Amino acid sequence: ALPVGVLALQGDVREHLAVLSDLGADARPVRRPEELDAVRGLVIPGGESSVMDKLSRLFGMREPLRQAIADGMPFYGTCAGLIMLSDTVLDAIEGQQTLGGLDVVVRRNAFGAQVDSFETDLDIPVIGDPPVHAVFIRAPVVESVGAAVDVLAALGDDRIVAVEQGALLGTSFHPEITGDTRFHEYFLSKVRSA
Ligand code: GLN
C-alpha cells in the first residue's frame, strides 16, 4: 500500500489517518524526519497553526518539511494545515512562521469571533457531483493567489477556500470529519502520480 503520512505534532491527526486507511493507504503519523523520509505524501491536519509551527521547530521538522515541499512531495493541508503551506499569513501570532510553498496570502480566523464555525455545500469542479459539504472551524480564507495557483473553490466571488499549486493542495474546511472521502482520494491520486 501507498505510504502516506499525517503530520502528528498537533491537531486532528486521527481523523485523517482513519480516512486515508479506509481508502487503502498505508497511513502513518509523522513526527520525525526519518518518518517523513518513509512516506510519499503528507497531510497537515487542522488544529492551531501557531502551535504547529512552534512544535515543528522544536521537533526539528521545519527544514525537513520545507525540503520535502521543495522536492515536490505532495502535501494536503486542511485549515491550520493550509495556513502552514501558505507563503504569507495575515493575523498571525507574533513570530509565527509558515512552511510556505503555496503562493497565496491567507488570513487566520477570517470569519471572526461571531461565526466560529459553519457548514455549507460547495460546488468543486475537480471533485464533481454531488457538492462537497464543507465544515469550517475558526477557518482561514485565502485572500489572494499567485498566477501558478488554481482556485478550486470559493464562497461568493472573493473568499477562496480551496487551492492547488503543483503538488500542493489546501482547503479552509475539514473533509476528514464529514465522511466525504473525495478530497483524500484526489490527494492520493496526486501522490500516486507524483
Ligand atoms: N484558527 C486555526 C489556526 O489559526 C485553524 C483552525 C482549524 O484548523 N480548525 O491555525
Kindly provide the ipTM of the predicted complex, given to two decimals. Answer: 0.95
Give pLDDT tens digits for 102-137.
999 999 999 876 678 999 999 999 999 999 999 999
79 given a catalytic annotation? yes
Residue 35: active-site member: no
Sole residue written with cell 457538492: 131
Q: Which CATH number fits domain 3-193: 3.90.180.10, 3.40.1360.10, 3.40.50.970, 3.40.50.880?
A: 3.40.50.880
With a 6 Å cutoff on the Cβ, whether 98 touches ligand 1 is no
Predicted TM-score (pTM) above 0.95: yes
CB 72 within 8 A of CB 63: no
Q: Is 49 annotated as a binding residue?
A: yes
Nearest to 135 by CA among 176, 188, 174: 174
Q: What is the mean pLDDT of residues 146-175?
A: 97
pLDDT at 37 (0 to 100): 98
Q: Percent of the chain beyond pLDDT 70?
A: 99
Answer whether residue 171 shows pLDDT above 90. yes
Instruction: Give per-residue pLDDT as tens, 54-108.
Output: 999 999 999 999 999 999 999 999 999 999 999 999 999 999 999 999 999 999 9
For residue 108, give the ligand 1 atom closest to its CA. 4
